[in-house]
Amino acid sequence: MNGEQLKKKLESGGIVYGTMLSAARNPRWTQTIAGFGLDYIIIDTEHSPRGRDEVADFLAAFVYSGVVPIIRVPIPDAHYVTMAMDAGAQGVLAPYCETVEEVKEVVGAAKWRPLKGALLVKAVESGEFPSQATKEYLLEKGRNSVCIIGIESVPAIDNLEEILKVDGIDGIFVGPNDLSITLGVPDQYDHPDYEAALRRVIATCKAANTPVMIHHQSVAMTQKWMEEGARFVLYSNDARTMHNGFTEEFGALKAKGAELGGDVGERAEEFSEVV
């Protein structure tokens, strides 16, 4: 799958599946990840300490994997978006967007690079390009570009209807930790205010035919919001799923060891990282 195919699947009403890379740093991980049956991967550079060279190596390794690599940039800024796309990303996730102006900057950099400056503003604002040939050239150049906008606060939700009027948005991302904090109910994902906010996001996006991605960290929570309409499925991250896998499998081995009179060793710790 490539970025264009990912977008078409979502546009046709399909569901796509991915996770976030928060800990993996060696590009050799791509071979393992490619065997997971995922449609896309988010490589985090907002909260994870990755440099440009590491990101470029990861992106090069994903070229023939069949998994669409998307970069979560540090802030919604054209400079970071362009760096990610130039390095070989097939999409960007711009975190914590709250205004139409921020979104236009991200979309312009993700969809119409290398057009810049006043002419880019005109293209984003009015759909007017230097020529039809230029427009067709840029459309072809950016056909795999996936642009995801992070809606992670109360002000962002209040502006969501206007934000979705910006042409070129392929998905809306919700960060549960950030959103719940701005709602005044930190990490209370069963709180009525949090659930009402997610339903508002989903309903607003459905009206604009834009898929929603909610980054929950449990299978049950992810399934719940799939049932509510989240089709751009982003589940957990590499560090957490590795922790869960090792904990479950070694838990079974230690249980058998206890039956046989052995020492079960150290108890597994709860995974507490928030991404």
pLDDT (0 to 100) of residue 269: 74
Confidence band, pLDDT 50/70/90 cuts, at residue 141: very high
Q: What single-letter amino acid sits at 144?
A: N
C-alpha–C-alpha distance, residues 264 and 236, integer Å: 28
Residue 167: which of 131, 200, 128 has the closest Cα?
128
Q: Could you tell me where the DSSP H helices lie in 97-144? A: 100-112, 117-126, 132-141
Helix (H) or strand (E) holding 242: helix 238-259
Is-contact 214 225, C-beta < 8 A?
Answer: yes
Is-contact 150 94, C-beta < 8 A?
Answer: yes
DSSP state of 114: T
Residue 235: which of 33, 66, 38 has the closest Cα?
38
Coil, strand, or helix at residue 227? Answer: helix
Q: Show the domains of the chain with their CATH numbers.
A: 3-259 (3.20.20.60)
Confidence band, pLDDT 50/70/90 cuts, at residue 263: confident
DSSP 59-103: HHHHTTTSSEEEEE-SSS-HHHHHHHHHTT-SEEEE-S--SHHHH
The bridge status of strand 16-21 relative to strand 232-237 is parallel
Is-contact 144 3, C-beta < 8 A?
Answer: yes
Q: What are phi and psi of 152, to 5 degrees?
A: -135, 20
184: its two tokens? 């005044």
Confidence band, pLDDT 50/70/90 cuts, at residue 255: confident
Cα 126 to chain center, whole Å?
A: 28
pLDDT (0 to 100) of residue 212: 98
Radius of gyration of the chain (CA): 20
Q: Report CA torsion sign: 187, 223, 247, 19.
A: negative
pLDDT tens, residue by residue, 23-78: 998 999 999 999 999 999 999 999 999 999 999 999 999 998 999 999 999 999 99
Is pLDDT of 195 > 80?
A: yes
Q: What single-letter amino acid sits at 184?
A: G
